[in-house]
Amino acid sequence: MRSGPAEGRMAAVGGTGVFRFLLKATVTGRSGCCRVQSYISRPGVRAQVLGGGKNLGRGLTLSLMTFLGYDVYRNIPGFLIVHADEKVEEIIDRADYLYGTGEVEKLYHLLIEHKNSTNDELLWRLARASRDLAQLESTSVERKKQLTYEALEFAEKALEQNELSFAAHKWYAICISDVGDYEGIKTKISNAYVIKEHFQKAIELNPKDATSIHLMGLWCFTFAELPWVQQKIAAMFFATPPSSSYEEALQYFNKAEQVDPNFYSKNLLMMGKTYMKLKNEKLALLWLTKARDYPARNEDDKQVQKEAIELLKLISKRH
């Protein structure tokens, strides 16, 4: 398995809602340790037959087996299947480059051409791209909703193709949470355990993924401070409603820092906020200062700096 660096750029819980995980992160775990076997068992990648000039067409999702029939397919030399895999790798490399440079719309248009792919690596990236496009301020309200549901659909397809993909589990959980924004508080709460389950599965599959650990911390923090009214609603759905504690949230935030120190400004901020909840102002000041001083590379970082400054002022007024 080829695995990239831990993700870093995210936004987090918004307002006082049940949970709104606004993630912008680079997830790069690609499974392809045995390329030929991988694509024989999971056909459907966009492929080109060398020498014969036969192209399945841009965005067309017929597998080689479907296109040629099994009797012909099984006689195709292995290097052709590897070539098909390389085409997918090229698309993924282009997608990761565009993501790294913040080209949200270009990335979406690149990947949406492969929306019928059966490759989980393409599908979870498409889920992420759909979601990122939905988050842009320039995206209309109607388009945001469409993209939010679209992102969930692609994440679900990615998970169907590969249940061992930590990124598919992560993005499925994130997208379920997003959809809850359109379906109300009851849906959000009823999905709480599902979201938690998929974040935990993502961590189990890749313990070095700092963002999955961070998101699990956000889940804990959110339910640790769940308002009384929402607690009552949760009790209507579950014999044991979702719950957590600030201590548990802190464990996850600390673990994320151990896995990848300073990987994300929001994790520093949440460390500070959690210590505030635990009445430990000394450590709250430490982590809030780190959040304030974190280099602002994007809008998320700027928002973190702004909130950290306000919280530091609040603490200073107490002394």
pLDDT tens, position by position, 108-137 = 999 999 999 999 999 999 999 999 999 898
Distance CA(85)–CA(228), nearest Å, equals 52
Report the interhelical angle of 246-259 vs 210-224 (nearest 10°): 170
Average pLDDT, rounded, for the chain = 78
Q: What is the pLDDT of residue 235?
A: 73
Q: What is the pLDDT of residue 194?
A: 95
Distance CA(132)–CA(145), nearest Å, equals 12
Single pTM value for the model = 0.72
Q: What is the pLDDT of residue 225?
A: 83
Distance CA(312)–CA(35), nearest Å, equals 52
Rounded to an integer, the average pLDDT of 212-234 is: 85
Grade residue 62 by pLDDT with cuts at 50, 70 and 90: very low
Q: What is the pLDDT of residue 66?
A: 39
Rounded to an integer, the average pLDDT of 40-64 is: 34
Rounded to an integer, the average pLDDT of 296-315 is: 92
pLDDT tens digits for range 179-195: 999 998 778 888 999 99
Give the best-scoring range by mean pLDDT among 3-17, 48-62, 165-179: 165-179
Whether pLDDT at 48 is above 50: no
Side-chain-side CA neighbours of residue 14 (13 Å): 11
Closest CA to 95 of 112, 111, 118, 83: 111
pLDDT tens digits for range 132-175: 999 898 999 999 999 999 999 999 999 999 999 999 999 999 99
